[in-house]
């Protein structure tokens, strides 16, 4: 926890993006999390991604539940909309907000406790409905706020700080998201921003439910030998399946011929470039992705990178055939189109 206010002074060469903001304009309050918490790095990656994509902060709505991770929206994008819901209920509140105003960019920030325990049902339905959002789980395998009990994502056999061994099987949110129909599924590591920032950028520009599981070590309770969510363990067992660059509505850049490159055009005209790190990995094949994630998991490795993407994502609004504008912009003329229209509808139902 930092008591000192972050100085407003900044590097003289700090650049402005196309909408006129510096990266510092995307920051929030000074974090009150433990010094060294991985969640702060995730906040920093979100700041970086939003700045690079020229997103106006007031076009963002950030929602969260309860827990260390759910505190973090206060620490980035101070000039955006925010809502701390109750424990595990972020996805349903976000779904409602999204249905009412599809013009905003929805950022759901959750933790492993918030999403894999109390909120597991909510998580599942947001994914299967295809709510257009960036759903980030800051996953440390531990209940940090209550001093270090195993969470539902802790690996079987991992050891708590006080020595207890976890006997329960872990919930793998990535595998669940793949199975439930999320159209953008990725896993990152808070200690590797070079990988994490483009993953977030891709998710922001994705047209449907985008899920990122970020392994974010808890320095206070889960960063010891025996933990499978510590900085050291993740670095040693990280298997990146892909390396991505995100080019937002910019001309494509060519890379060396030896790179095995897949370009995935996004719905808004931007391009996702995937470079295979694993030669046999196909990130557009859901079944293959599920197999690969499970195979690596069985081998004790953690698959990271962009695991699956469907460029033809359909979102909830498309399924419900809703109007193209936010509900609060609808005037009387749209809401009460008159007797003739009513007659037509009634006639159609006869």
Partner 1 sequence: MQRSDTQDPAYFHKVVDCQWACPAHTPVPEYIRLIGQGRYDDAYMVNWVSNVFPGVLGRTCDRPCEPACRRGRVEDKNVGEKKPEAVAICRLKRVAADHKSQELRALLPKPLPRNGKKVACVGAGPASLTVARDLATQGYAVTVFDGETKPGGFIRSQIPRFRLPESVIDEECGYILGLGVELRAGRRIESMRALLAEGYDAVFVGCGAPRGRDLQLPGRQEAGERIRIGIDWLASVSFGHVTSVQPRVIVLGGGNTAMDCCRSARRLGASSVTVAVRSGYAQMKASPWEKEDAEHEGIPILDFHVPLAFEHEGGKLTGMRFKKAQTGEEVSIPCDEVLIAVGQENAFPWIERDAGIAFNEHGLPLLDAQSFQSSLPQVFFGGDAAFGPKNIITAVAHGHEAAVSIDRYLHAEPVTKRPPPHVNLLSQKMGIHEWSYDNGITNELRHKVPWAAAEKALASIRVEVELGFDAATAFKEAQRCLNCDVQTVFTDKLCIECDACVDICPMDSISFVENGAEADLRQRLKAPALNLAQDLYVSGTLKTARVMVKDEDVCLHCGLCAERCPTGAWDMQKFLLLTTKAGPACRDTPARAPLAERKVTA
* Residues in touch with partner 1 (CB under 8 A): 1-14, 24, 34-38, 40-41, 43-44, 190-191, 193, 217, 219, 223, 231-232, 235
Task: Provide CB contacts within 8 A for 63, sequence distance 6+.
Answer: 73, 82, 83, 84, 85, 90, 93, 94, 97, 106, 107, 108, 109
Parallel, antiparallel or unpaired: strands 184-189 and 302-309: antiparallel
| Distance between CA atoms of residues 93 and 308, nearest Å | 26
211 vs 233 by CB, closer to partner 1: 233
Please state the closest distance from residue 90 (CB atom) to partner 1, in A. Answer: 24
- Angle, CA 307 vertex, CA 303 and CA 309 arms, to 5°: 175
Question: CA nearest 248: which of 266, 263, 261, 262?
Answer: 266
Please state the closest distance from residue 291 (CB atom) to partner 1, in A. Answer: 29
225 vs 324 by CB, closer to partner 1: 225
Count of Cβ atoms closer than 10 Å to residue 265 Cβ: 11
Please state the closest distance from residue 191 (CB atom) to partner 1, in A. Answer: 6
Please state the closest distance from residue 2 (CB atom) to partner 1, in A. Answer: 5
Task: Provide CB contacts within 8 A for 260, sequence distance 6+.
Answer: 275, 276, 279
4 vs 324 by CB, closer to partner 1: 4
26 vs 106 by CB, closer to partner 1: 26
Please state the closest distance from residue 199 (CB atom) to partner 1, in A. Answer: 16
Task: Provide CB contacts within 8 A for 299, sequence distance 6+.
Answer: none
List, edge to edge, every strand of the sheet that includes 261-265: 242-247, 271-276, 261-265
3 vs 163 by CB, closer to partner 1: 3
| Distance between CA atoms of residues 260 and 282, nearest Å | 11
Please state the closest distance from residue 39 (CB atom) to partner 1, in A. Answer: 10
8 vs 18 by CB, closer to partner 1: 8
């Amino acid at each position: 926890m930092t008591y000192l206010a972050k100085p407003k002074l900044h590097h003289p060469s700090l650049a402005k993006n196309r909408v006129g903001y510096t990266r510092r304009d995307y920051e929030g309050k000074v974090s009150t999390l433990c010094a060294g918490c991985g969640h702060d790095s995730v906040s920093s990656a979100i700041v970086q991604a939003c700045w690079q994509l020229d997103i106006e902060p007031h076009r963002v709505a950030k929602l969260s539940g309860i827990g260390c991770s759910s505190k973090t929206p206060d620490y980035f994008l101070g000039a955006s909309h925010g809502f701390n819901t109750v424990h595990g209920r972020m996805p349903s509140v976000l779904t409602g907000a999204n249905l009412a105003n599809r013009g905003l960019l929805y950022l759901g920030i959750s933790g492993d406790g918030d999403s894999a325990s109390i909120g597991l049902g909510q998580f599942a339905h947001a994914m299967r409905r295809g709510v257009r959002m960036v759903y980030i789980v800051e996953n440390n395998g531990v209940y940090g706020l209550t001093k270090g009990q195993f969470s539902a994502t802790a690996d079987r056999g991992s050891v708590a700080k006080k020595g207890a061994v976890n006997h329960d099987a872990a919930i793998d949110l990535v595998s669940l998201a793949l199975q439930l129909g999320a159209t953008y599924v990725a896993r990152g590591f808070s200690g590797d921003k070079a990988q994490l920032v483009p993953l977030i950028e891709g998710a922001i520009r994705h047209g449907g439910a985008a899920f990122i599981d970020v392994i974010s070590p808890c320095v206070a309770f889960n960063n010891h030998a025996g933990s499978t969510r510590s900085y050291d363990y993740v670095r040693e067992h990280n298997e990146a399946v892909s390396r991505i660059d995100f080019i937002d509505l910019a001309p494509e850049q060519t890379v060396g011929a030896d790179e095995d490159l897949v370009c995935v055009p996004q719905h808004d005209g931007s391009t996702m470039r995937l470079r295979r790190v694993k030669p046999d990995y196909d990130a557009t094949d859901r079944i293959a992705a599920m197999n690969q994630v499970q195979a690596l998991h069985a081998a004790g490795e953690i698959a990271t990178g962009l695991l699956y993407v469907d460029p033809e994502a359909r979102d909830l609004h498309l399924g419900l055939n809703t109007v193209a504008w936010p509900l609060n912009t609808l005037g009387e003329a749209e809401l009460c189109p008159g007797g003739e229209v009513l007659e037509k509808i009634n006639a159609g139902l006869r």
